[in-house]
């Protein structure tokens, strides 16, 4: 198996400034680092255990199969905070049949972002005997 030391998701937005505003100001992701100069400079954001890099510019939005999955401690609180910052909520929080609470937003290029709350009793979190 290949030893992986770090991972990141790379997005080439159609409008880098608009995407930086969305991920930095509206979603509130902290900046890990920036590189280059000008409007197409790269910005790398913290994503909990991973990184999200916006760099370059694309003529077309990314494939609709690209999605981001971000875990949040409280989906309802996340929705309130994002609405206050002008983020459109594509779908409000719903407890899915698999037990996770999911709400959906989209970035400026339409990339679906799933905000997921893992309830305390969910198998992803709950580990009996530990």
Question: Per-residue pLDDT for 5 more than 60?
Answer: no
- Give 120's pLDDT tier (boundaries 50, 70, 90): confident
Question: Which band of pLDDT confidence, cut at 50, 70 and 90, is reported for residue 66?
Answer: confident
Q: Pairing state of beta strands 68-71 and 89-95?
A: unpaired
Confidence of residue 8 (pLDDT cuts 50, 70, 90): confident
E strand map for the chain: 8-11, 31-35, 42-47, 50-54, 68-71, 89-95, 101-106, 112-117
Tens-place pLDDT, residues 68-88: 888 899 999 999 999 999 999
Closest by CA to 58, choosing from 18, 87, 93, is 18
Contacts of 124 (CB under 8 A, 6+ apart): 100, 118
Residue 89 in contact with residue 83, Cβ under 8 Å?
A: yes
14-41 average pLDDT score: 93
% of the chain beyond a pLDDT of 90: 65
pLDDT at 110: 93
Distance CA 82, CA 28 (A): 9
List the beta bridge partners of residue 18.
none
**Position 32 confidence tier, pLDDT thresholds 50, 70, 90:** very high
Give the pLDDT band (50/70/90) at residue 2.
low
Confidence of residue 121 (pLDDT cuts 50, 70, 90): confident
């Amino acid at each position: 198996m290949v030893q992986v030391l770090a991972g990141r998701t790379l997005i080439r937005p159609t409008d880098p400034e608009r995407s930086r505003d969305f991920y930095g100001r509206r979603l509130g992701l902290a900046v890990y680092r920036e590189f280059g100069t000008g409007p197409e400079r790269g910005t790398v954001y913290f994503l909990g255990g991973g990184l999200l890099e916006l760099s370059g510019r694309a003529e077309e939005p990314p494939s609709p199969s690209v999605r981001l999955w971000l875990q949040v401690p409280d989906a309802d609180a996340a929705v309130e905070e994002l609405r206050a910052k002008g983020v459109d909520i594509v779908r409000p929080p719903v407890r899915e049949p698999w037990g996770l609470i999911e709400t959906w937003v989209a970035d400026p290029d339409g990339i679906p972002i799933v905000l997921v709350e893992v309830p305390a009793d969910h198998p992803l979190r709950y580990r009996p005997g530990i």
